[in-house]
Amino acid sequence: KAGVTQTPRYLIKTRGQQVTLSCSPISGHRSVSWYQQTPGQGLQFLFEYFSETQRNKGNFPGRFSGRQFSNSRSEMNVSTLELGDSALYLCASSLEGGGPPGTQYFGPGTRLLVL
């Protein structure tokens, strides 16, 4: 089975621009979560989608948004980029079902540099 894929892997943008990142979960996985990782703040939860609905949201400004499609693929968007948005953005998918909260499988991440 293919793992979680994220595109693009690397991205350079300038302040004020917007960016869209894409995540394809493992086949059959219905939950997708997004994280931001920076050296200073570590791994921070952005949001989680399940069946096209946002189920949970972290403490990020409204410039960060996401969505999930009927095939479980997800995108996240950051508008009006700031220098501090430079980070590794990670996507994780999980298989929802009975039992414990789903184990998450992470993609390789998209490294965003804002100049």
Partner 1 sequence: DAKTTQPPSMDCAEGRAANLPCNHSTISGNEYVYWYRQIHSQGPQYIIHGLKNNETNEMASLIITEDRKSSTLILPHATLRDTAVYYCIVRGDRDDKIIFGKGTRLHILP
* Residues in contact with partner 1 by the rule CB under 8 A: 4, 31, 33, 35, 42-45, 48, 50, 55-56, 58, 88, 90, 92, 96, 100-109
Cα distance between residue 80 and residue 15, in whole Å:
7
Q: β-strand 110-114 against 10-13: which pairing, if any?
A: parallel
Cβ distance to partner 1 smaller for residue 35 or 64: 35
Closer residue to partner 1 (CB): 75 or 96: 96
3-state SS class at 53: strand
Task: Decide if 45 contacts 104 (C-beta within 8 A).
Answer: no
Least distance between partner 1 and beta carbon 69 (Å): 20
- Which C-beta is closer to partner 1: that of 11 or that of 88? 88
Distance from C-alpha of 20 to C-alpha of 41, rounded to nearest angstrom: 22
Closest separation in Å from C-beta 45 to partner 1: 5
Question: Residue 35, Cβ neighbours under 10 Å: how many?
Answer: 21
Q: How far is the CB of 96 from partner 1 (least distance, A)?
A: 7
